[in-house]
Amino acid sequence: MIGGLFIYNHKGEVLISRVYRDDIGRNAVDAFRVNVIHARQQVRSPVTNIARTSFFHVKRSNIWLAAVTKQNVNAAMVFEFLYKMCDVMTAYFGKISEENIKNNFVLIYELLDEILDFGYPQNSETGALKTFITQQGIKSQHQTKEEQSQITSQVTGQIGWRREGIKYRRNELFLDVLESVNLLMSPQGQVLSAHVSGRVVMKSYLSGMPECKFGMNDKIVIDKQGKGGATDDSGKSELGGSGKQSIAIDDCTFHQCVRLSKFDSERSISFIPPDGEYELMRYRTTKDIILPFRVIPLVREVGRTKLEVKVVIKSNFKPSLLAQKIEVRIPTPLNTSGVQVICMKGKAKYKASENAIVWKIKRMAGMKESQISAEIELLPTNDKKKWARPPISMNFEVPFAPSGLKVRYLKVFEPKLNYSDHDVIKWVRYIGRSGIYETRC
Amino acid sequence: MPAVSKGDGMRGLAVFISDIRNCKSKEAEIKRINKELANIRSKFKGDKALDGYSKKKYVCKLLFIFLLGHDIDFGHMEAVNLLSSNKYTEKQIGYLFISVLVNSNSELIRLINNGIKNDLASRNPTFMCLALHCIANVGSREMAEAFAGEIPRILVAGDTMDSVKQSAALCLLRLHKASPDVVLMGEWTSRVVHLLNDQHMGVVTAAISLITCLSQKNPDEFKSCVPLAVSRLSRIVSSASTDLQDYTYYFVPAPWLSCKLLRLLQCYPPPEDGAVKGRLVECLETILNKAQEPPKSKKVQHSNAKNAILFEAISLIIHYDSEPNLLVRACNQLGQFLQHRETNLRYLALESMCTLASSEFSHEAVKTHIETVINALKTERDVSVRQRAADLLYAMCDRSNAKQIVAEMLSYLETADYSIREEMVLKVAILAEKYAVDYSWYVDTILNLIRIAGDYVSEEVWYRVIQIVINRDDVQGYAAKTVFEALQAPACHENMVKVGGYILGEFGNLIAGDPRSSPLVQFNLLHSKFHLCSVPSRALLLSAYIKFINLFPETKPTIQEVLRSDSQIRNSDVELQQRAVEYLKLSSIASTDVLATVLEEMPPFPERESSILAKLKKKKGPGAVSVSDLEEAKGEGGALNGSGDRGADAAATSNSATLSPSADLLGLRSAAPVAPGTGSLLVDVFPEAGPASAPAVSEDGFLRHLDLPPESSDSLLVEAPGESDFEDPALPLPESDDLLYKFVCKNNGVLFENQLLQIGTKSEYRQNLGRMYLFFGNKTSVQFSNFTTSITCPGDLQTQLNMQTKPVEPLVDGGAQVQQVLNIECLSDFSDAPLLNIMFRYGGAQQNLTLKLPVTINKFFQPTEMSSQDFFQRWKQLSLPQQEAQKIFKANHSMDTDVIKTKLLGLGPALLEDVDPNPENFVCAGVIQTKGQQIGCLLRLEPNAQAQMFRLTLRSSKDTVSVHLCHLLAEQF
């Protein structure tokens, strides 16, 4: 169980320190600073063991969050908690920055008291927390006893994430499918490894206690239906990519509101959603990924002092769709002394501080091709080490899901109030982003 | 040094550094550095020439980046270019970069050396200094090789500036320390000595460091420095504090130089020239006088400088050890420091006194401070000072004050620091033994010691008590009584139980008359401790019990009962179980006469170096030995050791009979040559005795002496040095022939083994060539030095056998193994074996060993398969009488068919099946390959199982081979 939680700024000064258990001493704060933040080499591992004490840390911009324990805890649980905590803080005061943390330290301590009890994580649902931890000062004088007990019963009740009696004039929901596609490709164009990790984020503004049912083109479900004879593919794909009907999901996790028993037995995703924004599910696929871009590198060494690089990128999706924020990063050798770049589209620049040529294109339609060529001058060195040729990496954003996931339906039932599924306005959006998208050269 | 002008400020560098300092994160810093590196690279690209200023600036930035911990792989060329600049700052940065960044194997080293040479040749002193500093800072071998000739020339040249001389002296010192073999002595050495007369104090200070270092290597060459140093010293010492202007430090004239001069003098014996000596003594007296004067300043620097000189002077006085007057004065001076406020001074005073105590002139003077020292031991807050105080007590102890000191140390032991307890225990044990006037006191002291600090009493200490009790008849009764009383304490230390068990087992009868300590009481007392002890102590107690059965027959039933109990006879520990079973059987089967013989009282131990002292020496390392050596020189033979005959024995066995025998129980001198023949029986705690030698603990020797009386133990000990002097080194060991026969049929194994050395061999042969690996293993924990091996081929063998090998390394560490490879070529057939001679120094003794190498003619056998018909055809062809050799002999070994087969196969030739009409017989055929010829060999071995006899017939194309092989083979069956 978590023994304590510390938040540091980039200099290693402690902003928040909350100790939950006696086995964590005061010196633990310094131990982490000395051994991780101020360490000589960059500490890569998120888990560090110092004097039989484990430190789990995550970094958000310049802020370090570290959970400390002396026990043998479930590391995944601790990290999940740290991420959750980041979410909660973001939901309360926006970006996690030194200034925000300093301005809200009372609130943070209050939150820490609530979401972690003697080191055991508790309810960390923002919606629920916001009902009783508010930023508007002390309200309890005005709160009636009834209201207070209502909060208590709701927070401790079966559906802790949603309070009763929510009412909207317009029942609306937004569904975002956010994916990041990761790739490592050989210079010859062979895929060495590729996977997509995705999230389904929902923003719901629904009245009452609606029962929702979510359907997507999960292979298992589709196959089962196909066997049953009911070939109901009304939601034909209007999105980019291939015409494949179903996708194989390697693994997925759900928000706590999803009834897992039902998912296990029928593979149907049904739930009563929290109010506001939350992450409905997370998943990962590795098969049949649509790679939005293909990078074709060509590197030629001309003598000891010159290097010629040519990179072609090809967009590989429907011409009607537009990719955005495209950025190709071509690493340069460490002894580069000068660079000339020519590109047909977008802007390219040699960034000495990052040892790379960065090529940016604002927009690019599908099934197009673009090219950059660069001449790199090298300074002869007395080091015989050969340049390791790091891979060319790429960033982009495309308006479809590279995994091929499609939302088939999201049905809303609210028997107590008189609105039906048809009255709810639903929005679906797909965004595919690059994760680590690299091609060796 | 020219002042840095405003324009040289290098703004770009300042901006860069402040940028980096302002970086908020590591990543930002790396980005900034990458940007700067790219910028410098584009500047160094070589499109346009850079001016000196920007070159300097960029090199500086690179240096800064390197010092931040990033790799720099360019810019070296630019730095080297800076060397040829005429501006001081640019040159300086160039040299700085090179001393920090250029590693010795760089290709640029030639260019750099050229730059340095130019600067050395220039007349500009600052440039010369820069170059010298760079050489010293790099200090690599290449640098040393390139400039070792040049620097002495600069150092002694008449027209060199003082500052350059200073740098040159220090630079040469550095090179000499880094690679002493490159800096050769030459005619400059005598001129370096004269630098001591230089006007410039800085030069003298620098030169004296160099001279001190050099004279430690070859003192003779620098002998002439002594009078010069003395006169210099006397000039400094007698000068008024204002004379030396710049070199007066807080009213003390040239303290560093004085210290260095005094230290230099410590490398040499007292000057023989009376005048010089008188002057020196005068100096030392002045220094001692000055210490008495009231301080000229209250500042701590003043007293530190003064005391530094004083302590160096005292070390010199101690080093000379010939001026009683000075020694006593030094001692009194130190006595004042013993109560000084300053902890460091007290420490130093105690430390110096330790050495003073060992001088015969000042020993008495030191003794007057005993109360203060004891007080220091008790009240001092700093543990290191307490340790020194304990050392000093140890050093000042003699027979007159031994009782007091030992008592004080014992009482201090109860509160002593854990870190020094073990050493304290050893010291108490040694002092008690060395200065024991009567043995009852000694026994009391040691038993007290075990009681107070049982955990820290090492094995050696209690072995020693037992040795002494056994060797001294008069103390045995008292010892038995005392241990009996000590054992009655409800909780006593395991070591106490061991001593008690041993002594009561041996001498319990001496106190059995008293009804309070009747045999059964004794036994019950011992047995009450049995269950609290560890396995080795229990084993010892079991041995004590069986001794009891002998001493007191009336206890026999009780003890047998104990031995018979399941907890003994079925003990899970094999050693205990075996002892219980054997002792039980022994006591029930053997008659009283046999028992009495078997369980006789232990014979006296042969006298050797006190094991405790050996242990203390080991613990303190070689540095501390000198103290005890000095003690030894005083000839303070203690009462315990004075027992003449034994001492003489020890001295006779050792080779150092020249010195007085009286001190030999603690004999340091007999440490090296271990007396042969007494080998495995002794209580062997010496580091020299290897792991395989007698299992140390005396409880084992307890019974063993009955089957191995020390006189007759013919252990395979190394020849003592005395014997080996008379021995012709070419004569092999008597048993080496047997060793040789062992290897006729096999190629690998242990060739030779004794207590010091194990020689293993491994060999392979193909046709007329062979390769033999010899493995020399040092079985002891001590290094062998001068380890050499040589192979000789006596007589005709030189022309018959060609042996080649490389020399082995001369040092073999304790427990280490060295390997030697022999390449062997057989030129023609031979019958002798080559000799292997091994020489090494072990401890102080030269060891010499000669063995026969197991190279025999049959190693070059090539097996030949042939049919029965072929065999007999050839057999008949070789029918000349001289071609055949036959031997009929009795079987020495088993006549098992398989065993014989294996042996024959190991011999080399092919074993032919179904050839001989009689299946019992063995038939072999092979060809011996030599360089010159091939010798066919046929063999027939006819065993006769009833008569246990063999008939061996050999036929070969060469008569000598037949005979020799026949001879070799006959030994195998």
Give contacts of A 279-308 with B, CB under 8 A: none
* Contact: B73, A355; criterion CB under 8 Å: no
CA distance A228 to A235: 18
Question: Taking CA atoms, what residue in A is nearest to B30?
Answer: A353
* Contact: B24, A10; criterion CB under 8 Å: yes
Mean pLDDT (chain A) is 87
Q: Which residues make Cβ contacts (< 8 Å) with residue B103, sequence separation at least 6?
A: none
Q: Tell me the three state secondary structure of residue B241.
A: coil
Residues of chain B with Cβ-Cβ distance to A59 below 8 Å are none
Question: Taking CA atoms, what residue in A is nearest to B43?
Answer: A337
Which residue type does B370 have?
I
CA distance A207 to A170: 9
Instruction: Calculate what percentage of chain B has a pLDDT beyond 90.
Output: 7
CA distance B31 to chain A (A): 4
Residue B380 contacts residue B389 (beta carbons within 8 Å): yes
Residues of chain B with Cβ-Cβ distance to A377 below 8 Å are 45
Helices (H), B148-268: 150-156, 162-178, 188-193, 201-217, 225-238, 255-265
Question: Taking CA atoms, what residue in B is nearest to A10?
Answer: B25
pLDDT of residue B105: 62
pLDDT exceeds cutoff 70 at B644: no
* Contact: B38, A383; criterion CB under 8 Å: no
> Which residue would you say has higher pLDDT here, B8 or B344?
B344
pLDDT of residue B472: 79
Residue B150 contacts residue B131 (beta carbons within 8 Å): no
Q: What is the average pLDDT across B383-409?
A: 84
Interface test with A, best of B62, B66, B74 (most A CBs within 10 A): B74
* Contact: A337, B39; criterion CB under 8 Å: no
pLDDT band at B2 (very low <50, low <70, confident <90, very high): very low
pLDDT exceeds cutoff 60 at B569: yes
> Which residue would you say has higher pLDDT here, A433 or B462?
A433
pLDDT of residue B375: 83
Please spell the DSSP secondary structure of A193-246, one letter per residue.
Answer: EEEEEEEEEEEEE--SS-EEEEEE-BHHHHHHHHHHT-----S---SSS-----
pLDDT of residue B641: 39
Instruction: Calculate what percentage of chain B has a pLDDT beyond 70.
Output: 84
Pick from A3-7, A129-133, A237-241: least confident: A237-241
CA distance A255 to chain B (A): 36
Which residue type does B56 have?
K
Given the structure tokens 């004097």, which residue do they identify?
A51
CA distance B91 to B80: 9
Pick from B25-34, B473-482, B730-739: least confident: B730-739
> Which residue would you say has higher pLDDT here, B683 or B918?
B918
Give the tens place of pLDDT for each residue, B10-34. 888 999 999 999 988 788 899 999 9
pLDDT exceeds cutoff 90 at A331: yes
CA distance B20 to chain A (A): 13
Interface test with A, best of B26, B32, B48 (most A CBs within 10 A): B26
pLDDT exceeds cutoff 60 at A128: yes
Q: What is the average pLDDT across B89-105?
A: 84
Angle between helices B162-178 and B125-138 (to 10 degrees): 10
pLDDT band at B631 (very low <50, low <70, confident <90, very high): very low
Pick from A187-201, A424-438, B872-886: least confident: B872-886
Residues of chain B with Cβ-Cβ distance to A337 below 8 Å are 38, 41-42, 44-45
Question: Taking CA atoms, what residue in A is nearest to B33?
Answer: A353
* Contact: A338, B45; criterion CB under 8 Å: yes
pLDDT of residue B706: 38
Pick from A238-247, A309-318, B43-52: least confident: A238-247
pLDDT of residue B610: 64
pLDDT of residue A76: 94
pLDDT exceeds cutoff 70 at B642: no
- What dihedral do alpha carbons B548, B537, B712, B740 form, nearest 10°? 140
Question: Taking CA atoms, what residue in B is nearest to A43?
Answer: B26
> Which residue would you say has higher pLDDT here, B966 or A135?
B966
For this complex, say whether ipTM is above 0.90.
no
Give the tens place of pLDDT for each residue, A252-262. 999 989 999 99
Phi and psi at residue B944, in whole multiples of 5°?
A: -125, 100
pLDDT band at A244 (very low <50, low <70, confident <90, very high): low
Instruction: Calculate what percentage of chain A has a pLDDT beyond 70.
Output: 93
Give the tens place of pLDDT for each residue, B913-927. 777 777 778 888 888
CA distance B74 to B536: 68
pLDDT band at B906 (very low <50, low <70, confident <90, very high): confident
pLDDT band at A241 (very low <50, low <70, confident <90, very high): very low
pLDDT band at B220 (very low <50, low <70, confident <90, very high): confident
Q: What is the average pLDDT across B412-418?
A: 79
pLDDT band at A323 (very low <50, low <70, confident <90, very high): very high
pLDDT of residue B184: 80
Identify the helix (H) or strand (E) that includes residue B968. Answer: helix B959-970
Q: What is the average pLDDT across B482-496?
A: 83
* Contact: A338, B42; criterion CB under 8 Å: yes
Longest Cα–Cα distance of chain A, Å, equals 83
CA angle in degrees (0–180, nearest 5) for A226-A232-A234: 140
Give contacts of A 22-81 with B, CB under 8 A: 40, 42, 62
Beta strands in B317-462 (DSSP E): none
Pick from A151-155, A305-309, B803-807: least confident: A151-155
Within a 10 A sphere around the Cβ of B614, how many other Cβ atoms? Answer: 19
pLDDT exceeds cutoff 70 at B857: yes
Beta strands in B379-489 (DSSP E): none
* Contact: B74, A379; criterion CB under 8 Å: yes
* Contact: A337, B38; criterion CB under 8 Å: yes
Q: What is the average pLDDT across A239-249?
A: 64
* Contact: A353, B31; criterion CB under 8 Å: yes
pLDDT exceeds cutoff 80 at B685: no
pLDDT of residue A141: 56
Angle between helices B88-101 and B109-121 (to 10 degrees): 140
Bridge partners (DSSP) listed for residue A301? A307
Pick from B210-219, B517-526, B599-608, B610-619: least confident: B610-619
Give the tens place of pLDDT for each residue, B271-285. 888 888 889 888 899
CA distance B731 to B852: 9
| Half-sphere CA count of B588, side-chain side, radius 13 A | 12
Q: Which residues make Cβ contacts (< 8 Å) with residue B361, sequence separation at least 6?
A: B321, B323, B324, B327, B328
Q: What is the average pLDDT across A68-89?
A: 93
pLDDT of residue B618: 67
* Contact: B73, A354; criterion CB under 8 Å: no
pLDDT of residue B218: 82
CA distance B479 to B489: 16
Residues of chain B with Cβ-Cβ distance to A13 below 8 Å are none
CA distance B729 to B847: 11
Q: For chain B, how big is the Rg over CA atoms in Å?
A: 39
CA distance A113 to chain B (A): 31
pLDDT exceeds cutoff 50 at B645: no
* Contact: B44, A379; criterion CB under 8 Å: yes
pLDDT of residue A109: 93
* Contact: B25, A62; criterion CB under 8 Å: yes
pLDDT of residue B440: 79
Beta strands in A51-112 (DSSP E): 53-60, 63-69
Q: What is the average pLDDT across A410-435?
A: 90
CA distance A374 to chain B (A): 16
Of A62, A338, A382, the CB nearest to B24: A62
Q: How many CB pairs under 8 A join A and B?
A: 50
Phi and psi at residue B342, in whole multiples of 5°?
A: -75, 120
> Which residue would you say has higher pLDDT here, B48 or A326?
A326
Given the structure tokens 């044990």, which residue do they identify?
B429
Which residue type does B783 have?
Q
Residue B59 contacts residue B78 (beta carbons within 8 Å): yes
Residue B353 contacts residue B386 (beta carbons within 8 Å): no
pLDDT of residue A422: 87
Of B26, B32, B108, the CB nearest to A42: B26
Q: Which residues make Cβ contacts (< 8 Å) with residue B634, sequence separation at least 6?
A: B358, B360, B363
pLDDT band at A316 (very low <50, low <70, confident <90, very high): very high
Taking the Cβ of residue A334 and every Cβ of chain B, the question of whether any pair is shorter than 8 Å is answered with: yes
CA distance B320 to B314: 10
Question: Taking CA atoms, what residue in B is nearest to A339?
Answer: B42
* Contact: B25, A10; criterion CB under 8 Å: yes
* Contact: A379, B24; criterion CB under 8 Å: no
Residue B855 contacts residue B824 (beta carbons within 8 Å): yes
| Gap between the terminal Cα atoms of chain B | 91
Q: What is the average pLDDT across A321-329?
A: 94
Angle between helices B300-320 and B343-357 (to 10 degrees): 10
β-strand pairing of A425-439 with A172-185:
parallel
CA distance A108 to chain B (A): 25
Mean pLDDT (chain B) is 78
Taking the Cβ of residue A352 and every Cβ of chain B, the question of whether any pair is shorter than 8 Å is answered with: yes
pLDDT of residue B578: 86
Q: For chain A, how big is the Rg over CA atoms in Å?
A: 26
Of B24, B31, B106, the CB nearest to A354: B31
Give the tens place of pLDDT for each residue, B752-779. 788 778 888 888 888 888 888 888 888 8
Give the tens place of pLDDT for each residue, B427-447. 888 888 788 777 778 888 888
pLDDT of residue A237: 40
Please give the DSSP secondary-structure letter assigned to residue B572. S
pLDDT band at A382 (very low <50, low <70, confident <90, very high): low
Residues of chain A with Cβ-Cβ distance to B38 below 8 Å are 336-337, 352-353, 355
Given the structure tokens 């931040």, which residue do they identify?
B68
pLDDT of residue B243: 66
pLDDT exceeds cutoff 90 at A435: yes
pLDDT of residue B778: 83
Give contacts of A 253-272 with B, CB under 8 A: none
* Contact: B38, A62; criterion CB under 8 Å: no
CA distance A9 to chain B (A): 10
Burial class (CB in 10 A: 0-12, 13-18, 19+), B873: exposed
Interface test with A, best of B31, B37, B58, B76 (most A CBs within 10 A): B37
Instruction: Return the closest-CA partner of residue B373 out of B400, B391, B398.
Output: B391
Please spell the DSSP secondary structure of B281-338, one letter per residue.
Answer: HHHHHHHHHHHHSPPS--SHHHHHHHHHHHHHHHHHHHHH---HHHHHHHHHHHHHHT
Burial class (CB in 10 A: 0-12, 13-18, 19+), B514: exposed
Q: What is the average pLDDT across B524-548?
A: 85
* Contact: B34, A354; criterion CB under 8 Å: yes
pLDDT exceeds cutoff 60 at B570: yes
Taking the Cβ of residue A340 and every Cβ of chain B, the question of whether any pair is shorter than 8 Å is answered with: no
In our burial notation (b when 16+ CB lie closer than 10 A, e otherwise), range A279-318 reads ebbbbebbeebbbbbebbbebeeeeeeebebebebbbbbe
pLDDT of residue B104: 60
Strand order across the beta sheet in which A53-60 lies:
A14-19, A4-8, A63-69, A53-60, A47-50
Identify the helix (H) or strand (E) that includes residue A178. Answer: strand A172-185
Pick from A18-32, A225-239, B668-682: least confident: B668-682
CA distance B114 to B110: 6
Q: What is the average pLDDT across A226-233?
A: 51
Residue A2 contacts residue A78 (beta carbons within 8 Å): yes
> Which residue would you say has higher pLDDT here, B269 or B676?
B269
Residues of chain B with Cβ-Cβ distance to A383 below 8 Å are 73
CA distance B47 to chain A (A): 11
Instruction: Return the closest-CA partner of residue B701 out of B540, B583, B542.
Output: B540
Which residue type does B764 have?
E
pLDDT of residue B680: 35
Residues of chain A with Cβ-Cβ distance to B73 below 8 Å are 334-335, 381-383, 385
pLDDT band at B609 (very low <50, low <70, confident <90, very high): low
pLDDT exceeds cutoff 60 at B732: no
Question: Taking CA atoms, what residue in A is nearest to B105?
Answer: A382
Structure pTM?
0.57
pLDDT exceeds cutoff 80 at B60: yes
3-state secondary structure B789-802: EEEECCCCHHHHEE
